[in-house]
Chain A
Amino acid sequence: MTTAEKYVTAAYCAVFAVVLVYVVLIALKLQRLERDVDELERKEPAKDDERETISVG
């Protein structure tokens, strides 16, 4: 492998690495958001149950 080939490979690998890191970070964030949505969904039925147990009159 010549010096030029090594540098060109390094440049394209750098592009790939940056895009990959970015995609991984976004994926992690979306996973966190998914967990938050699940958490909110679990809380919502609990709130509904509380409302049902309150006796009226």
Chain B
Amino acid sequence: MESVARSHRVSLPVLAVASLVLVTLALALVFFVVPNDADQGFSQRIFYFHVSIAFTAYACFAAGAWKALLHLWKRDPRADLESYVAIHQGVIFGVLVLVTGSIWAKISWGHWWLWSEDQLVLFLVLFLFYAAYFMLRFSVDPGPQRENFSAVYALFGVVLIPVSFLAIRIAKSFIHPVVFTLHGPSFGGWILVTYLVAQAALLVLAYTLYRIELAGKLIDVRLRELRFA
């Protein structure tokens, strides 16, 4: 239990305030500062949160895989919990990617969803893969076996992240926009500043929610131990 009770460096109230400030700043920039896109007009404003949420979801899945690797390597029970919470965050942000993406698609393309788009379908596959993680996890009794199964599954899933990210760059015909190329982002000025603030806001928000959920899980584990002690 000692490893489970490790303390973190940044306190939760500080993180919560930072999240609130950054999200508010990002929203202010999105709605009051950044100019309308020449091609898409006002609807392009979904981009700032949609893309930031997508990268945050990828980061959560990657963190989940990293913690899973740590669990398999060091047999640290806390790493299993951290992996589970990170993947849970990733799935929540994944839902948001699909919702905001569908709304943006409806304005831009006239459809809520296009099965012909590799980027969309691959993200859906990635999302469903991680949604199935919970089915696997809760179909096995708590213990080392469940932790190991979950860790191996989380590690397999991380392979899908570069596939999902690179699919649009490999595909020859697409309508999903590519904003990050090998030469950097295809935008600058206020658009870049707003995107970077939104990205920072969502990463800090995700980390704050991760810490809160993890704290709850750790208390839950400790309570169970006390009840059965």
Residues of A within 8 A of B (CB): 2-5, 7-8, 10-12, 14-15, 18-19, 22-23, 26, 29-30, 33, 36-37, 40
- Interface residue SS majority, chain B: helix
- Interface residue SS majority, chain A: helix
> Which chain B positions have C-beta within 8 A of A12?
27, 46, 49
State the Cβ distance, A24 to closest chain B Cβ, in Å. Answer: 12
- Do A7 and B41 have beta carbons less than 8 Å apart? no
At the interface with chain A, which of B131-139, B144-152, B163-171, B215-223?
B215-223
Q: B104 in the interface, Cβ–Cβ < 8 Å? A: yes
- A7-B46, A11-B104, A40-B227 are known contacts; what are 8 more A-B pairs with Cβ within 8 Å? A11-B99, A12-B27, A12-B46, A15-B96, A18-B95, A33-B223, A36-B223, A40-B226
- In the complex, A26 Cα to B209 Cα: how many Å? 9
- Do A30 and B42 have beta carbons less than 8 Å apart? no
- In the complex, A8 Cα to B41 Cα: how many Å? 11
Residues of B within 8 A of A (CB): 27, 41-43, 45-46, 49-50, 53, 92, 95-96, 99-100, 103-104, 106-107, 205, 209, 212-213, 216, 219-220, 223, 226-227
**Known contacts A18-B92, A18-B96, A26-B209: does B103 contact A7 (CB below 8 Å)?**
yes
Q: Which are the 9 A-B pairs with shortest beta-carbon distances?
A: A4-B43, A11-B103, A4-B42, A7-B107, A11-B100, A11-B46, A14-B99, A33-B219, A8-B45
> Which chain A positions have C-beta within 8 A of B107?
3-4, 7-8
> Which chain B positions have C-beta within 8 A of A29?
216
